[in-house]
Chain A
Amino acid sequence: DAGITQSPRHKVTETGTPVTLRCHQTENHRYMYWYRQDPGHGLRLIHYSYGVKDTDKGEVSDGYSVSRSKTEDFLLTLESATSSQTSVYFCAIKHGGSVNEQFFGPGTRLTVL
């Protein structure tokens, strides 16, 4: 357990509404990531952060924005949710140093009707 929590764990929303997912970590890791997981696609990187207010895009960033105002929190926002954003969303942190592995939160299942 790398001290990563995600909220909410489940959410159902309607097309066109804004949605914000929160990732919270307790171990002061610099790097944080948001992925989405869909059948047949594995995990795909949406956005990542390498420090407070430092973020960058991943391979599927369209329709998503992120913010990191504190080390411990990394927010993912869907400005206007679409049905194609129905997915399971995972947050991850990276251990630095020589190991470089990532640890994942429990995931958030988002359904956009």
Chain B
Amino acid sequence: AQTVTQSQPEMSVQEAETVTLSCTYDTSENNYYLFWYKQPPSRQMILVIRQEAYKQQNATENRFSVNFQKAAKSFSLKISDSQLGDTAMYFCAFTDDKIIFGKGTRLHILP
């Protein structure tokens, strides 16, 4: 069965620092997608970044980037120059058909 593991239940960093959220997954598939979703206190699920498994190049979206290690089945999210608005729950997710979510990392950006 496919699983997604986020080993950091909660993290805190100072504003403007860089933070990395960890995610590992388990699958026997070769073609799949990986995502990071953000859930702020408003509860809305917001797609932050996605990575196609067949692409070797790591995805980047402004201050958000990933470190995708396919052989290690690792998909970490790096947030550079963190901002107060980045405070949220972050979910790593895997999909080849249905999406499987990790349990989330609660990130606090401190002023």
Contact = CB atoms under 8 A, between A and B. Distances in A.
Given A43-B91, A100-B33, A101-B35, A88 B43 contact: yes
Interface in B39-80: 43-45, 47, 50, 52
Contacts of A42: 91, 101-104
Dominant secondary structure at the B interface: strand
A109 to B, nearest CB: 8
Interface in B76-108: 91, 95, 98-104
Contacts of B99: 33, 45, 92, 102
Contacts of A45: 98-100
Contact of B47 (A33, A35, A101): A101
A58 interface: yes
Interface of A is mostly: strand
Contact of A43 (B47, B50, B52, B101): B101
A9 B44 CA distance: 12
Given A43-B91, A100-B33, A101-B35, A48 B45 contact: no
Interface in B4-38: 33, 35
Contacts of A35: 101
Interface of B: 33, 35, 43-45, 47, 50, 52, 91, 95, 98-104
